[in-house]
Chains A and B, each alone.
Chain A
Amino acid sequence: DGGITQSPKYLFRKEGQNVTLSCEQNLNHDAMYWYRQDPGQGLRLIYYSQIVNDFQKGDIAEGYSVSREKKESFPLTVTSAQKNPTAFYLCASSMRGDLSNQPQHFGDGTRLSIL
């Protein structure tokens, strides 16, 4: 079945460590997105990629980095510069990134906590 796979489901980070969250999709979608969700809050956009080998900062990109070397994959690295990384991270994709009428489809999320 086609879908978006995020791994791991739960992740723990020590202070000063970088961690990478995986996101893979087999929907053949052009665009991919990373969101952060804090308890009781909506989604805030971290980074997005409208097409392979290209990505742009979202509203809260500081302390995060991404790459988009393959269409199927959009990993997110949470660096030690991110001072408050504990959150629920959601990856999404949409068929196209240049049209604003495409629904985004979400993975099951990764919950990151600081040890």
Chain B
Amino acid sequence: GQNIDQPTEMTATEGAIVQINCTYQTSGFNGLFWYQQHAGEAPTFLSYNVLDGLEEKGRFSSFLSRSKGYSYLLLKELQMKDSASYLCAAGYKAAGNKLTFGGGTRVLVKP
């Protein structure tokens, strides 16, 4: 299988930083996506990592280590609107553009 593992839930305070970890199977791995999903809404694309290292986009950054099968999404200067689920999804070469999604991490931002 191609299991994607991420924590179920995290809580953080407004203005703080939260790091959401994701692990995946490395065999045939091509790249990793992060999506944000507010309750009852469609997921929206946040980032894509294919090379090792950190990609920064404003308050959100995503990191990938291909050799370790590990990624994280870093949310800085948390705002109340960042309360959402964050989905990690891996693409595998043999699967075309079929993605394997993790179960999602629900982030609750408290005042």
Contacts from A to B (Cβ < 8 Å): 31, 33, 35, 40-45, 48, 50, 58, 88, 90, 94, 96-109, 111
Q: How large is the interface on B (under 10, 10 to 19, 20 to 34, 35 or more residues)?
A: 20 to 34
Query: Contact between B42 and A42 (Cβ–Cβ < 8 Å)?
Result: no
Query: Contact between B95 and A100 (Cβ–Cβ < 8 Å)?
Result: yes
Give the distance to chain A from B1, nearest Cβ to Cβ, in Å: 10
The segment from B53-61, B63-71, B76-84, B96-104 that touches chain A is B96-104
Assembly CA distance A103 to B32 (angstroms) = 10
Q: List 26 A-B contacts (CB under 8 A).
A: A31-B97, A35-B101, A40-B8, A41-B104, A42-B87, A42-B102, A42-B103, A50-B96, A58-B98, A90-B43, A97-B97, A98-B96, A98-B97, A100-B30, A100-B93, A101-B30, A101-B31, A101-B48, A104-B33, A104-B45, A104-B99, A105-B45, A106-B43, A108-B42, A109-B40, A111-B40
Contacts from B to A (Cβ < 8 Å): 4, 8, 30-31, 33, 40-45, 48, 50, 87, 89, 91-93, 95-99, 101-104, 106
